[in-house]
Amino acid sequence: MTGEVALEAVDLRRWYGGVRAVDGCSFQVPRGQITGLIGPNGAGKSTAVSLLAGSIRPDGGQISLLGRDITRLPNWQRARLGLIRTFQVSRELPHMTVLDNLMMAVTPQPGESLWSALLRRPQWRRAEREMLVRAWSLLEEFGLAPMVDEYAENLSGGQKRLLEMARAVMPDPKVLLLDEPVAGVNPRLINEIAGHIERLRDEGMTILMVEHELSVVERLCDSVIVMAQGRVLDVGPMHHLRQNQAVVEAYLAG
Ligand SMILES: Nc1ncnc2c1ncn2[C@@H]1O[C@H](COP(=O)(O)OP(=O)(O)O)[C@@H](O)[C@H]1O
Ligand SMILES: [Mg+2]
Instruction: Please determine, for residue 1, whether its predicted confidence score (pLDDT) is greater than 50.
Output: no
* Ligand lying closest to the C-alpha of residue 14: 1
Beta strands 34-38 and 231-236, pairing class: unpaired
Q: Please give the backbone phi and psi of residue 96, each rounded to the nearest 5 degrees, phi first.
A: -115, 160
Q: Whose CA is nearest to atom 26 of ligand 1?
A: 42
SS (H, E, C) the chain: CCCCEEEEEEEEEEEECCEEEEEEEEEEEECCCEEEEECCCCCCHHHHHHHHHCCCCCCEEEEEECCEECCCCCHHHHHHCCEEECCCCCCCCCCCEHHHHHHHCCCCCCCCCHHHHHHCHHHHHHHHHHHHHHHHHHHHHCCCHHHCCCEHHHCCHHHHHHHHHHHHHCCCCCEEEEECCCCCCCHHHHHHHHHHHHHHHHCCCEEEEECCCHHHHHHHCCEEEEEECCEEEEEECHHHHCCCHHHHHHHHCC
Fold of 5-252: Rossmann fold (3.40.50)
**What is the pLDDT averaged over residues 98-105?**
91
Q: Whose CA is nearest to atom 4 of ligand 1?
A: 16
- Asked if residue 204 lies in contact with residue 30, where contact means CB atoms within 8 angstroms, the answer is no
Ligand 1 close to Cβ of residue 46 (< 6 A) = yes
Determine the atom of ligand 1 nearest the C-alpha atom of 179: 21
* Ligand lying closest to the C-alpha of residue 229: 1
Beta strands 68-69 and 19-30, pairing class: unpaired
Q: Categorize the per-residue pLDDT at 110 as very low, low, confident or very high, splitting at 50, 70 and 90.
A: low
Ligand 1 close to Cβ of residue 50 (< 6 A) = no
Nearest to 25 by CA among 17, 41, 16, 37: 37
Q: What is the pLDDT of residues 57-97, one digit of tens each?
A: 999 999 999 999 999 999 999 999 999 999 888 888 899 99
CA of 42 to the centre of ligand 1 (A): 6
**What is the pLDDT averaged over residues 29-40?**
97
What residue spans define the domains of the chain?
A: 5-252
Instruction: Please determine, for residue 127, whether its predicted confidence score (pLDDT) is greater than 90.
Output: no
CA of 41 to the centre of ligand 2 (A): 7
Q: Categorize the per-residue pLDDT at 23 as very low, low, confident or very high, splitting at 50, 70 and 90.
A: very high
Ligand 1 close to Cβ of residue 101 (< 6 A) = no
CA of 219 to the centre of ligand 1 (A): 27
- Asked if residue 89 lies in contact with residue 37, where contact means CB atoms within 8 angstroms, the answer is no
Burial of 108 per CB tally in 10 Å (0-12, 13-18, 19+):
middle
Ligand 1 close to Cβ of residue 21 (< 6 A) = yes
The pTM of the full predicted model, rounded to 2 decimals, is: 0.92
**What is the pLDDT averaged over residues 15-22?**
96
Say how far apart CA 4 and CA 96 lie, in whole Å. Answer: 39
Ligand 1 close to Cβ of residue 14 (< 6 A) = no
Ligand 1 close to Cβ of residue 39 (< 6 A) = yes
Say how far apart CA 24 and CA 16 lie, in whole Å. Answer: 14
Ligand 1 close to Cβ of residue 225 (< 6 A) = no
Nearest to 101 by CA among 169, 163, 173, 171: 163
Say how far apart CA 168 and CA 90 lie, in whole Å. Answer: 11
Rg (CA), the chain: 19
pLDDT at 56: 96
Nearest to 182 by CA among 193, 174, 172, 173: 193
